[in-house]
Structure 1
Amino acid sequence: MNALTRNALSTYAKVGVDANIANATPYRLILLLFDGAIKAVANAKFHMQNKAIAQKGEAISKAIAIIDEGLNLSLDVKVGGELAENLSALYSYMCHRLLVANINNDPSILDEVSRLLGELRGAWAAIEKAPEVIAFDGGAVAAATPAAEKATMSNSFGRV
């Protein structure tokens, strides 16, 4: 297990996303991070609407931790190039928007971040289900075979 995968596992444990992550594929780990972030944003909105300030702050902090320490740190810009850089910028934008939502008590910003996370999650889920899409190597897409999948999994769209 490489350092970036260990970091994702550590983030899961820290934020309590799922107890059965040790056997999850790299694709599944990312889906779990998306699910955890979406849930945290939904919890933040619930607490915001109920004027539970401490719980709102905790939920927003959890969402930021998942996005920044999980999703963003799982990117490998050397492998993923511009795609990974763009995702990193989007993750940073979402974290910033969550801070603004917290300060301004603006549920519409939480909706915006939730929508972005949902769209990315959907795209990631589609990639996982498409066996012909395994590796992103400077624009080349490799077809999936068991050997190719194992050899190229760490290059999957700039993720570990």
Structure 2
Amino acid sequence: MFGSMQRGVNAYAKVGLETSVISASPHKLIVMLYDGALAAIKSAATHMAAGNIVEKGAAVSKALDIINNGLRASLDKKAGGEIASNLDALYVYMTERLLTASLQNKTALLDEVQTLLTDLRDAWTQIGEKPVQPAAMSHYPVMASA
């Protein structure tokens, strides 16, 4: 009885997530990636503390996937220059720390990566999506109407 209700809830959540992704701006997608990685790390810590090895591994793998195939893959090193290169190196460092945390069951390393991701997420959120103000457009020539 509850199994079918849970499947329904999961299906509803999946549709909600897919709708959010489709309608999200690129800026919001990055925030969603940070949120997903943070949730996976929190889950890994919970499973690590409970001794659930399989679930811990799955949660760490999810965090690694988000960091490497989401956050790192979205970096534009040509346009981003030194900042993008530094972020890439930081994501590599996080990957190494997560792997070590998983292999050695060290929650302190999970906490370290969580702190780094939280700081990056907060900075990214503060940047926000600031619309271009009309005054900022004043230096562009105005097209005369015929």
Q: Please say whether Structure 1 and Structure 2 have the same fold, judged by a TM-score greater than 0.5.
A: yes
Shift of residue 145 of structure 1? 4.4
Q: Which residue of 1 aligns with 2:32?
A: 32
- Give the helix-richer structure, 1 or 2: 2
Q: Tell me which structure has the larger Cα radius of gyration.
A: 2
State whether residues 36 and 63 of structure 1, in contact with CA within 8 Å, keep that contact through their aligned partners in structure 2. yes
**Pair 1:18-2:14 in alignment:** no
Alpha-carbon distance in structure 1 between the residues aligned to 2:32 and 2:23: 13
Q: Which residue of 1 aligns with 2:67?
A: 67
Q: Which residue of 2 aligns with 1:76?
A: 76
Q: Which residue of 2 aligns with 1:156?
A: none
Q: Which residue of 2 aligns with 1:104?
A: 104
Higher relative contact order structure (alpha carbons within 8 Å, sequence separation ≥ 6): 1
Instruction: Give the TM-score, by structure 1 length.
Output: 0.71
State whether residues 47 and 56 of structure 1, in contact with CA within 8 Å, keep that contact through their aligned partners in structure 2. yes
Q: Which residue of 2 aligns with 1:155?
A: none
Alpha-carbon distance in structure 2 between the residues aligned to 1:18 and 1:81: 32
Q: Which residue of 1 aligns with 2:144?
A: none
Q: Which residue of 2 aligns with 1:48?
A: 48
Pairs aligned (count): 120
State whether residues 37 and 62 of structure 1, in contact with CA within 8 Å, keep that contact through their aligned partners in structure 2. yes
Query: Gapped runs of 5+ residues in structure 2?
Result: 1-13, 137-146
Alpha-carbon distance in structure 1 between the residues aligned to 2:18 and 2:41: 20
Alpha-carbon distance in structure 2 between the residues aligned to 1:63 and 1:72: 12
Shift of residue 18 of structure 1? 2.7
Q: Deviations over 1:105-155 (max 9, x none)?
A: 0000000000000000000000115x27xxxxxxxxxxx248x9xxxxxxx
Instruction: Give the TM-score, by structure 2 length.
Output: 0.78
Alpha-carbon distance in structure 1 between the residues aligned to 2:17 and 2:31: 11
State whether residues 18 and 32 of structure 1, in contact with CA within 8 Å, keep that contact through their aligned partners in structure 2. no
Identity across aligned pairs (percent)?
A: 47
Alpha-carbon distance in structure 1 between the residues aligned to 2:133 and 2:81: 24
Q: 3-state SS of the aligned residue for 2:22?
A: coil
